[in-house]
């Protein structure tokens, strides 16, 4: 894979006509080391955020040994890449065939569930296995998060007792898991959820061996600047330590966005301009699904040999397909003199960018290259030897 200093170096070397994915393995390594060394428990990567084999290997090499897999395809992918990794099948609704293959073929021993029917399915598909860690998913609030995950899965804490007691009988180790929603903007999300965990444990009177606080750990985007992740970890640790759980219980988390967002960006070309709307060669059916369908704003930068003297104004984007839904409202702040042929880097797309890409209308991703500069923003800081992203963006390679 080719390596360049930054986006400008890619433009100068390749003169790309298709979108180019810029990956930053050093950013993923930094995020992985932070979670592995700072979170007061075990961190497992949520593969759905970005299933890139290169990223998965990078995270493993940097201390992430557990992986949250949500389908049999993800089980096969990670097991094929990392024979020694611990895989946790954390989707609460699974096909019996997927459970059986995961258990008997790929060595998966951790499963989540939120109904008695799913518990019965797991027990049957594993032939009554006695070495299972089974995590009952609670439904908790997503009120502190930008994207809710409070509707589809989970049992209410005040209704969980029968399921917890039944699961305790079937499991070698009993866990409770939850998800506060994506991009939780306050540590209070986890404090509130762990209060629900306490209520569920007390109501059921069971011994709990695992508490999994799920994902939701935030990254930095325009107009979304959460506090330090250490503050989240402190709140989680304090609430966890007060729970009535086994003395040998384990604390887990499932970061996806937080481990992958800074890993990659996408370099796109402006094909046309109509007033404050730019037509670019990637979009809603490519890496910008979130920008189109949930109005997510990503950082952007004009990539030219010389920095533009024009003031920034708000733009919207149309993607390359024939579909009117291929529209990203933004606002995306760029110099007012943007013209067709210009290149734009769109940052923080490591989470759910490549994962959501399709081949609709024949538009697919171009090359993937490694760049050495910093992501457009970072929840983990940069060293003094790494000048700011803004300064470096307009330097020649």
Class of domain 25-260: alpha beta
How many residues comprise the chain?
397
Res. 313: pLDDT tops 90 = yes
Phi, psi of 326 (to 5 degrees): -80, 65
- Average pLDDT, integer, range 258-269: 97
* Four-residue CA torsion sign, 174, 84, 213, 150: negative
Other CB atoms within 10 Å distance of the CB of residue 328? 28
Res. 150: pLDDT tops 50 = yes
Domain boundaries, the chain: 3-23+262-393, 25-260
Nearest to residue 46, comparing CAs of 16, 80, 87? 87
For residue 62, name the pLDDT band (cuts at 50, 70, 90): very high
pTM, whole model, 2 decimals?
0.93
**Phi-psi region at 183: left, alpha or beta (left = phi > 0; alpha = psi -120 to 50):** left
For residue 395, name the pLDDT band (cuts at 50, 70, 90): very low
- Please state, for a pLDDT cut of 90, what percent of the chain lies above it: 89
Nearest to residue 397, comparing CAs of 358, 363, 369, 356? 369
Structure tokens at 248: 């040998």
- Residue, of 263 and 223, whose pLDDT is higher: 263
pLDDT at 397: 30
- Average pLDDT, integer, range 241-257: 96
Nearest to residue 179, comparing CAs of 141, 144, 229? 141
Which one-letter DSSP state was computed for residue 219?
-
pLDDT at 388: 42
Phi, psi of 161 (to 5 degrees): -55, -50
Structure tokens at 140: 């908790």
- Average pLDDT, integer, range 348-373: 92
Phi, psi of 131 (to 5 degrees): -120, 35
What crossing angle do the helices spanning 188-204 and 161-170 adopt, rounded to 10°? 70
Following DSSP, what letter does each residue of 247-271 receive, concatenated? TT-EEEE--SHHHHGGGEEEEEEEE
CA angle (196 as vertex; 190, 201 as ends), nearest 5:
125
Cα 69 to Cα 43: distance, rounded to the nearest angstrom: 13
pLDDT at 246: 87
- Average pLDDT, integer, range 52-57: 98
Helices marked H in the chain: 7-14, 25-38, 53-61, 72-81, 96-104, 116-125, 161-170, 188-204, 229-241, 257-260, 289-293, 389-393
pLDDT at 168: 98
pLDDT at 394: 30
Q: Which CATH superfamily is domain 3-23+262-393 in?
A: Lyase, Ornithine Decarboxylase; Chain A, domain 1 (2.40.37.10)
Query: Can 3-23+262-393 and 25-260 be said to share one CATH topology?
Result: no
- Residues with Cβ within 8 Å of residue 365, at least 6 apart in sequence: 18, 19, 21, 282, 286, 287, 354, 357
Res. 387: pLDDT tops 80 = no
- Average pLDDT, integer, range 93-111: 98
Res. 55: pLDDT tops 60 = yes
Structure tokens at 39: 């979170």
For residue 60, name the pLDDT band (cuts at 50, 70, 90): very high
Phi, psi of 343 (to 5 degrees): -110, 140
Would you call 130 helix, strand, or coil by DSSP? coil
Cα 202 to Cα 327: distance, rounded to the nearest angstrom: 49
Res. 390: pLDDT tops 90 = no
Q: What is the mean pLDDT of the chain?
A: 94
pLDDT at 382: 64
């Amino acid at each position: 894979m080719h390596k360049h200093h930054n986006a400008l170096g890619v433009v100068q070397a390749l003169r790309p006509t298709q979108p180019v994915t810029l990956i930053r393995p050093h950013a993923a390594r930094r995020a992985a080391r932070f979670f592995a060394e700072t979170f007061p428990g075990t961190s497992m990567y949520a593969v759905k955020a970005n299933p890139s084999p290169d990223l998965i290997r990078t995270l493993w090499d940097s201390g992430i040994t557990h992986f949250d897999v949500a389908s049999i395809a993800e089980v096969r992918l990670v097991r094929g890449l990392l024979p020694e990794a611990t895989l946790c099948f954390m989707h609460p609704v699974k096909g019996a065939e997927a459970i059986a293959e995961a258990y008997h073929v790929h060595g998966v021993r951790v499963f989540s569930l939120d109904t008695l029917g799913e518990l019965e399915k797991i027990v049957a598909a594993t032939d009554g296995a006695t070495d299972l860690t089974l995590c009952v998913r609670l439904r908790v609030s997503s009120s502190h998060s930008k994207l809710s995950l409070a509707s589809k899965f989970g049992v209410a804490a005040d209704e969980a007792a029968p399921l917890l007691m039944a699961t305790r009988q079937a499991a070698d180790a009993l866990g409770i898991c939850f998800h506060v929603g994506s991009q939780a903007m306050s540590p209070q999300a986890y404090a509130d959820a762990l209060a629900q965990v306490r209520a569920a444990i007390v109501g059921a009177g069971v011994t709990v061996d695992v508490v999994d606080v799920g994902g939701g750990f935030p990254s930095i985007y325009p107009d979304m600047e959460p506090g330090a992740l250490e503050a989240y970890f402190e709140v989680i640790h304090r609430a966890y330590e007060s729970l009535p759980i086994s003395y040998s219980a384990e604390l887990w988390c499932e970061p996806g966005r937080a481990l992958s967002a800074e890993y990659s960006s996408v370099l796109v070309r402006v094909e046309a301009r109509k007033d404050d709307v730019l037509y670019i060669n990637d979009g809603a059916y490519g890496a910008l699904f979130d920008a189109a369908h949930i109005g997510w704003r990503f950082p952007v930068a004009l990539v030219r040999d010389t920095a533009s003297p024009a003031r920034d104004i708000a733009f919207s984007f149309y993607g390359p397909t024939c579909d009117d839904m291929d529209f990203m409202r933004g606002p995306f702040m760029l110099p007012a003199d943007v013209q067709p042929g210009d290149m734009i880097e769109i940052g923080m797309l490591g989470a759910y960018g490549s994962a959501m890409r399709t081949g609709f209308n024949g538009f697919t991703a171009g090359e993937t290259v490694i760049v050495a500069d910093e992501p457009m923003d970072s929840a983990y800081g940069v060293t003094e030897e790494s000048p700011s992203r803004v300064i470096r963006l307009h330097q020649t390679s």
